[in-house]
Chain A
């Protein structure tokens, strides 16, 4: 018998407002894969990620995590998932370090510093988020990918407001992640330059 896939999406229907976005979507994701969700604006790329993350409920259909139905209770998958959406998910009133310690309380200071120096944020360690630029805030949000050890990454337009150098750093980190047995599901309008992805097209 074949072992169950990392994530199985079976006959998934998603509704936003009064509009049905996905009709009977099926796909499998196995360990070590980068899945890129494609589709026009409003085709439901973000909604699909949100449904997998458990932010919004699906209209119908099931999601299996290692063969286990998690459609009703997402918490088992959520413990292994890092979701970064359009909104950064970092608090304006807190500093960079405080934000990261909120998301990941058990990170060591060494790890925190090395991560931030990779992303060029080390000088901003105790700067308040509200005085950072959009690109810097995005880097802070993405730095969670280095310090939190989660198997599944759900990234909604992660390259937005990143410069070329930031994109390269992120792509190489994604590659490391999948080589180490992780899974990435992302939406992006940009072509991935250095990594190979499997594409899923949402037809609108």
Chain B
């Protein structure tokens, strides 16, 4: 297998030039899918026979909750990649994705609470999924706090990579422990292997909004990475060339 693309990814310059054309289309694709999924889900799907209309918040809650976890997964893996291969792009990725992941976790928490009010009668229930999203949010805040507290760039890069990698190892344990601690929760809405139990007209818009959310977050991460790369490499010639030609 040819691994040059993998090594090229390590170079911020190459990554910047490669990713430049992807962010905008991804953003449009994501926005359109999200809008379609949300309108379909919020306005046109039939109401749930048990939860009535309040179930519709899953079209927001489920995508952001999935993204909050996926972002951490990506963060943890790039931390590991940085520790093993010293790839320069990895800490930039971590720095870009951490606040987005934190915002996703926060929206998941808030929408979960809004969902909880009509469903369980309280804003907060020590439900396994809500609790693990709360822990996830705290993990993100820890990473962001550590990044901000360390002035030395090299040290900050290494530190977030270490904590991300340790988190990657520990996250399944945390999740398992929290689920074990409270098994009184609804099962995961989506599984890749089993046929979903929801009616097709309910889960198709959900799938669309999840995909839209992925694209949207990917475009935001790319933009953040591009601006961090420009900032870090502002002295190099290719950045000057880039700014001269395209007038960023």
Q: Give chain A's interface residues, CB within 8 Å of chain B.
A: 15-18
Contact = CB atoms under 8 A, between A and B. Distances in A.
Nearest to A15: B154
B19 to A, nearest CB: 21
Contacts, number: 7
Contacts of B154: 15-17
Interface string B106-150: 000000000000000000000000000000000000000000000
Interface of B: 152-154, 232
Contacts of A17: 152-154
Nearest to B155: A17
Contacts of B232: 18
Nearest to B233: A18
7 contacts: A15-B154, A16-B154, A17-B152, A17-B153, A17-B154, A18-B153, A18-B232
A18 B12 CA distance: 14
A99 B33 CA distance: 67
Contacts of B152: 17
A106 B156 CA distance: 39
Nearest first, the 7 A-B pairs at minimum CB distance are A17-B153, A18-B153, A17-B152, A18-B232, A17-B154, A15-B154, A16-B154
A122 B217 CA distance: 67
Contacts of A15: 154
A15 B232 CA distance: 14
Contacts of B153: 17-18
Contacts of A18: 153, 232
B201 to A, nearest CB: 53
A116 B154 CA distance: 40
Nearest to B232: A18
A17 B156 CA distance: 10
A16 B155 CA distance: 10
B85 to A, nearest CB: 14
A44 to B, nearest CB: 14
A15 B233 CA distance: 14
Contacts of A16: 154
